[in-house]
Amino acid sequence: MGGWRDMSAEALEDHYSPSRWSPRLDRDTIIDAHLAVTAAGTERARASVKTLLHVPYGNGDREKLDIYFPTDLSETFPVLVYIHGGYWQCLSKDDSGFAAPPLVSQGVAVVAVGYDIAPEGHMDAMVLQVRRSLVFLVQQYPRIRGIYLCGHSAGAHLAAMVLSTDWTEFQVVPDIKGAVLVSGVYDLEPILHTYVNDALNMSRCPRRDSCREVAQRNSPMRHVPTAVPAACEVLVAVAQHDSPEFRRQSQEYSQALRAAGWSVSLLDLAGVDHFDVIEKLSEDSYILTQVILNMISRA
């Protein structure tokens, strides 16, 4: 078969361990550093931006949104919906507001989505929660002028699953004008063979399906919609210092979208790793910040 299937168990673990690939910091400190940077950035954002925190979109403890508003709410406004990473088992919306200041200053609202993480949450539920959060936004804020998804790592996976949604069952069709998928995983099957699934335990779902069935139905690579939205632009971004497997997944998913007729581009970001590729969204001058703002301005 080739590829990840031919890797040893140890090699596969390495390829799906982003902390092992950064030249900046060693694997034992980079995750703590990432948590500190995103938490501090979110604290700064909350101190400087008009917010509405812990807005419930459902009944679950984590089914809440943090909303960062632009200064002028007299007119319609675009919204960037940020879906955090953490390998579906750590981080939260409470550390996810760091990207808000540069966007809010340009008239873009930012919404950080909370969802149930493992081991309490399971994959099917996480995907459904993120979909439901968009339905809530559309229903509660009719002045939204286009939704732009932004997900990092596991959050990029969840954002990509949103793109595959059949919205008829929700009776609402969010106006998704763009998606920025950063250092994501789009085929979950390799994950089944790594430590990541220890907490995820993808066989633990209400339908009693096998791990492989759960992974397949929640793999964006296997569910690329052929009914392409007329005005949805997708950016798949990957870090220079992501692992070869993360880089392969981004390349193959962008190719699959393009083959299906989507407007998609692949951005290979130099000089960054799996963690600062997203942390730098707090900076006005960061290339990905500018790309997002340009995407929104073109709509």
CA distance 15 to 24: 17
| Residue showing tokens 């699959």 | 256
Give the full edge-to-edge strand order of the sheet including 64-69: 50-56, 64-69, 109-113, 77-83, 144-152, 176-182, 233-241, 263-273
**Distance separating alpha carbons of residues 269 and 182, to the nearest angstrom:** 10
Nearest-angstrom CA–CA distance, 229 and 258 = 13
Beta strand spans in the chain (E): 50-56, 64-69, 77-83, 109-113, 144-152, 176-182, 233-241, 263-273
Task: Name the residues annotated as catalytic.
Answer: 153, 242, 274
Question: CA–CA separation, 15 vs 4, rounded Å?
Answer: 9
* Burial degree of 143 (CB within 10 A; 0-12, 13-18, 19+): exposed
CA distance 232 to 56: 27
The first and second tokens of residue 134, run together, are 């968009």
Asked whether the beta carbons of 241 and 175 are under 8 A apart, the reply is no
d(CA 285, CA 263): 25
Task: Answer yes or no: are the C-beta atoms of 183 and 153 closer than 8 Å.
Answer: yes
